[in-house]
Chain A
């Protein structure tokens, strides 16, 4: 770390900072300038940034190394590629995950799985336990929902990601899903993250609604430090003062995370925008910005969906989006599922 002293810092104050840094096991390089003194601290010690900042005469403390280790590019320069069956997340191909917000009934789940598969999605999404803002909203079908999602995924040869909301659900969801999703509301549920660190399946970690990128990567660190190396980061919009959209979709987070971390990062334009008509533009932008994949809500009858209807795409809209992504992805050197299984269905 670098400690910048105040312009009028006294010799005694500077000495006190050097003393504390040496006590913390650091080697100190002192540069006495005309107006300011700068102290460079290097070594294997673990200096406490907050403690140094509180010392008299300290103007600013800058950390050079990141507080997360395993998630950082310094630790692992090569990108992590996560294998889920025959699907590779974080490689050349942009992977699209799609499906309804929640499992509501067998026909609804089957129709959605068939529709997203035909359009080129590789992974099916859907919730069985729904964390809703209101306790009176639809809470999900529970294990019955998991069974419906798994059956539909098997039928359509899709992998399955579904949300795990607390520790007690891990064992159950492990029986049905290929990827555990940790929702934005649970991003800092550290006991859940620790436990998922022992899971043998990938974790899709959404960014918390008001989490900084550093906090998000620290949450990933919890999973990684437990021994689970397969973490997929997912930007889903953050809360800002803007009210035109449900959240403000932070596209810049994608290249920022790519620079800081080796982990794959995908984008959730459905929650990011919160409005059906905004999903496609945000999805296109996310892929153009370098996202390794997308997770999109698609519902065959969104107007009657039990949750998130307003932000779910019609299958025909999703199909068109996939066609657009097939033009955008190659422009930045990425592959994407080129041939939809069949082109039929939803008119034009």
Chain B
């Protein structure tokens, strides 16, 4: 059986991958922000946010978290992506 230390190492490895992937996602969101700015499209696209949540819910059925918890986590991820895009489009600084 794996020891506590080994499992914590596993968590650290997974977190590293997660952070890399979240940043990869954020870079894509920034690219989308730039295109929205060019085309003069609103940052907040509720329809698209709904699609994203529905998509992750649909692939979340396996695993202990379940669709609801995955949706809650992705609400946070979407919040941050919207923040990045808003900064790009409206160009104001940090809080």
Contact = CB atoms under 8 A, between A and B. Distances in A.
Interface residues of B, number: 18
B59 to A, nearest CB: 19
A18 B46 contact: yes
B82 A27 contact: yes
Counting contact residues on chain A (CB < 8 A from B), the size range is: 10 to 19
Most buried by A among B76, B83, B90, B93: B83
A19 B82 CA distance: 11
Contacts of B76: 29
B79 A29 contact: yes
Contacts of B44: 18-19, 22
A43 B79 contact: no
Contact of A27 (B50, B71, B83, B93): B83
Contacts of B72: 31-32
Given A15-B46, A32-B71, A32-B72, A44 B82 contact: no
Contacts of B50: 11
Interface in B34-73: 42-44, 46, 50, 71-72
A8 to B, nearest CB: 18
A32 B73 CA distance: 11
Contacts of B79: 27-30
A15 B90 CA distance: 20
A27 B46 contact: no
B5 interface: no
A42 interface: yes
B9 to A, nearest CB: 32
Nearest to B90: A25
Contact of A43 (B71, B75, B95): B95
B95 A28 contact: no
Contacts of B86: 22, 27
A44 B75 contact: no
A43 B86 CA distance: 11
Interface in B14-46: 42-44, 46
Interface string A10-38: 01000100110010010111111000000
A29 B90 CA distance: 18
Nearest to A37: B75
A18 B86 CA distance: 13
B53 to A, nearest CB: 9
Given A22-B82, A27-B86, 16 more contacts: A11-B46, A18-B46, A19-B42, A19-B44, A19-B46, A25-B90, A27-B83, A28-B79, A29-B76, A30-B75, A30-B79, A31-B72, A31-B75, A42-B95, A44-B92, A44-B93
Interface of A: 11, 15, 18-19, 22, 25, 27-32, 42-44
13 contacts: A19-B42, A19-B44, A22-B82, A22-B86, A25-B92, A27-B86, A29-B79, A30-B78, A30-B79, A31-B75, A32-B72, A32-B75, A44-B95
